[in-house]
Amino acid sequence: MTELVNKRSEVALAREAARRTLKQRTMTEIKSLARTQTVHAVNTLVKIMLDKNAPAHARVSAANAILDRGWGKPLQPIANEDGKPLEFIHRIERVIVHPGDGQTFDAHVEESVLREPLSVLGSIGATGDFDVSHEELWLRSQENT
């Protein structure tokens, strides 16, 4: 009896592994086929955007798709309690991404912002408050200096 159950379990596991492999291969093939049509798709978007007889919403949508494809989607601001964007994130981006552009920033980060878990601010690998214990330790060490 147990041999039969074990054999069925092995068969079920093998089927599941085969399904996963097929699904991954299928998605890879779909992506590959879609990528072969990129030039045609962009040309179609350009035709729609330039067509004077096309509805305005279609032309705007095509223009946005072209801009997003060429320049990437614009960053979405993170708002604080007042509905204003958090400015210090922009400062961090400027310091990390463009450190040598000669611009200086005088920023003040409020204590309430310093106490937010870094997972909220986008730390790599942190998925919740339970992942930020090392960050809390770092913040405490900075208070003593």
| β-pair partners for 79 | 85
What average pLDDT does this structure show over 96-114?
53
What average pLDDT does this structure show over 26-48?
87
- Please list, in sequence order, all residues whose beta carbon lies within 8 angstroms of the beta carbon of residue 49, skipping any fewer than 6 positions away: 59, 62, 63, 66
More confident residue, 116 or 51: 51
The two structure tokens encoding residue 95: 């310091």
**pLDDT > 60? residue 47:** yes
**pLDDT > 70? residue 60:** yes
Give the predicted TM-score (pTM) of the model: 0.37
**pLDDT > 80? residue 59:** yes
For residue 38, name the pLDDT band (cuts at 50, 70, 90): confident
- Considering only CA atoms, which of 140, 7, 92 is closest in space to residue 132? 140
Summary mean pLDDT of the chain: 69
- Please list, in sequence order, all residues whose beta carbon lies within 8 angstroms of the beta carbon of residue 127, skipping any fewer than 6 positions away: 119
The two structure tokens encoding residue 7: 């054999």
Match 């989607």 to its residue by tokens: 73
State the Cα angle at 85 between 63 and 139, rounded to 5°. Answer: 130
The two structure tokens encoding residue 32: 């590959």
Match 């040598």 to its residue by tokens: 100
What is the number of residues in the chain? 145
